[in-house]
Amino acid sequence: MTVSTHGIELDSGSRTWRSLVELLSSMRFSISLLTVICIASVIGTVLKQQEPLSNYVNQFGPFWAQVFSLVSLNTVYSAWWFLLILTFLVISTSLCISRNAPKIFAELNQFKENIREQSLKAFGHRAENTLNETPEAAAQRIGQTLVQGGWRVKLQQRDAGWMVAAKKGSLNKLGYIAAHSAIVLVCIGGLLDGDLMVRAQMWFSDKVVFSGGGLIADVPQKHRLSESNPTFRGNLLVAEGTQASVAMLNQPGGVLLQELPFSIELKKFIVEYYSTGMPKLFASDIVIHDKETGESIPTRVEVNHPANHKGVEIYQSSFDDGGSSVTLKAVPMSAATKPFEIQGTIGSSSNLSNGPEKLTLEYTALRVINVENFGNSGRQVGDSGSGVDVRKVDLRHAIDSRLGAANKTRTNKELRNVGPSVSYKLRDGAGQAREYQNYMLPVRMDDNPDSTAVFLLGVRETPIDPFQYLRVPADQENSMNTFLATRTALADVRQRDEAVRRYVSQAIAAGRPDLATQLTASASRALGLFAGAESVTPRAVPQAGAAAQSAKPTSGLQAISDFMEINVPEAERSRAGEVLVRILNGVLFELVTMTREQAGLPPLTRDEKTQNFMAQMVLSLSDADHYPAPMTFALKDFTQVQASVFQVARAPGKKIVYLGCAFLIVGIFAMLYVRERRVWVWLSPRPSTEDASNTTIASHATMALSANRKTMDGDKEFDMLKTRLLQVSP
């Protein structure tokens, strides 16, 4: 059969109608539509779907965000143009099948036995031999041999001889029909289970997307879909101890509410973990309350194990907070802020005031378990990247990590549960908000027992940004009190002077009284710069004919660096910097010791653990001035209430899609692994003289083989047939 890319050509009708039918039924049009669908599917996979518009603005800018929204690239699979292309693909492929299927079915029963002898000699696989039997006997023998080999055979008697025509692998042609039918079935199933029915109700039943807020019970009827809706797929959030019977269908610009013929009551949400802390099981013990019969059906929904009631599948989609109550302690990050406690519920908000500034505290999330990777690949809490130190590249290790046993991994993972965390937003009077994530317990970042555990205080500007963490060292009492007291003392000039006096007195006691004056000046300057109490003032430099000076109101290690860059010659900066940092560390240690004495706490011992604590203290005090809020909220206590997020779906097209997948598997298998072959053997009589007294009639046999694909198996099969049918020695 010759494959043509042209469509159905009508003999009647207008020229436009005939051209339209020819285009719709042509193979080139179907391939073009399939290509567009593939490109759209790639876009829908790469670009996150149904995200808030602000996320696209932050990631791609306002121009491209508007472009995505205009052409519905953020909702590809429910876009009108995508559904329209699917519809045209169904029509076009169906017309292609209707045009080619009769030819294929007709060819299934054709043996092409009328082929001429001269045509057989033009085939690539051909052979000839003389047989010592009559043409009729040879034809019967050859036909019987082919039938035993699974061939379909037809014998034809002609005036000049016998033709044996056989064929095998006709299912190859049916593979084309099965594969094309699979495309039609999958597209029909996708249209039925997609948003086409929902869109139809919006177009013809005056249903409108709801974009407001408030209680579900107060939403008007025009935003609701009836229980008889033939197809839908929505989300349903149910908190422990509550019931829900209305699912939400996400639509561009808002949601539609889908009434269910039953309500779901969540008895308990269950999470089981492996020993590493990774989740092993997510399940929900629910009770389905039928609205029509009043029957209560207890059941369990697990991941990949949905429940079914009245044709509606209930899947365990995810989980969320069901309104947990939290107690937060405000930790001052500036001297003007005082500590206090506040209680709230996840999903609610509280109003705060910082003098004339009004803030809104929004409680966004509570995570009781946080499993992080502490492997030696360099990843830490909140760090999603992985880097390679070029100074530690080991070729042998690199090869071994990619070869050998199949269970090898490229990175070593050490999963550890670091405890609860709370997320919240602080929104100012202008509506601008930052998101914060604070861990409740101190986290040790490595396996060294002498390392310092830190409290992680995360902040980010936008939802697409990663969290940046301020690491506050935990003292011997596993609290932030030493850090907070030291930071308060650092802002007090009298406390700084007392710390400098103690540091200098130790130097005098060590036998260097001659350095007292110079050491006092250096220590005071270093501590003042670090605290931000002194401005970084350069030496007078003439600019444009006048003396000009500039000051940089910085603090922390940045202030020390700026001071060295401006006031110390470049050749002396390295040595002077080491001396100044050593003095700063010594003075800060005295300041920490003073604050612990004032709090009635034991002093720090001079060992490696204290040295690591002070190193982290210096870094944290330096970074604390960059914290964007006057306070941070530490999680003090919580009462968790969990909720399950179910996906409820009525999908009549699912079985059609399954049938289409079965057709696709059969079609691809038939097209790739079934070879269509045809064999012809022409037998003509030929007189043969064995001796002078006995003359017999022999046959001259001409055989040819054709296949839809040339393979090595075809060559072997031809040699075998040539030997068995024509008795030709291999």
Percent of the chain with pLDDT over 70: 87
Over the stretch 592-615, which tens digit does the pLDDT of each residue have?
999 999 989 898 888 889 999 999
As a dihedral over the C-alpha atoms of residue 417, residue 418, residue 419, residue 420, rounded to 10 degrees, the angle is: -120
**DSSP assignment of 330-386, as one string?**
EEESSTT---EEEEEETT-EEEEEETTEEEEEEEEEEES--EEE--TTS--TT----
CATH topology of domain 111-169+675-726: Double Stranded RNA Binding Domain (3.30.160)
Q: Could you tell me which CATH class the domain 198-230+232-322+643-650 is placed in?
A: mainly beta
Q: What is the mean pLDDT of residues 157-161?
A: 89
Q: What is the mean pLDDT of residues 477-500?
A: 91
Q: Which of 46-55, 158-167, 333-342 has the highest mean pLDDT?
A: 158-167
- In this prediction, residue 261 carries a pLDDT of 93
* Measured distance CA(682)–CA(133) in Å, rounded: 14
Over the stretch 257-285, which tens digit does the pLDDT of each residue have?
999 999 999 999 988 877 666 778 889 99
436-450, 541-555, 710-724: the lowest-pLDDT one: 541-555
* pLDDT exceeds cutoff 60 at 386: no
472-476, 602-606, 681-685, 691-695: the lowest-pLDDT one: 691-695
351-355, 386-390, 487-491: the lowest-pLDDT one: 386-390
Tell me which residue of 306, 305, 302, 307 sits closest to 281, measured CA to CA. 302
User: HSE (CB half, 13 Å, CA atoms) of 528?
Assistant: 15
- In this prediction, residue 381 carries a pLDDT of 55
Instruction: Please indicate whether residue 381 or residue 473 has the higher confidence score (pLDDT).
Output: 473
**Which is it for strands 254-273 and 224-225: parallel, antiparallel or unpaired?**
parallel
pLDDT confidence tier of residue 391, bands split at 50, 70 and 90: very low
Q: Over the chain, what is the mean pLDDT?
A: 84
20-34, 131-145, 595-609: the lowest-pLDDT one: 20-34
Q: Specify the pTM.
A: 0.66
Q: What is the mean pLDDT of residues 182-189?
A: 91
pLDDT confidence tier of residue 336, bands split at 50, 70 and 90: low
Over the stretch 556-576, which tens digit does the pLDDT of each residue have?
888 888 888 888 888 888 888
Largest CA distance in the chain: 144
- In this prediction, residue 550 carries a pLDDT of 44
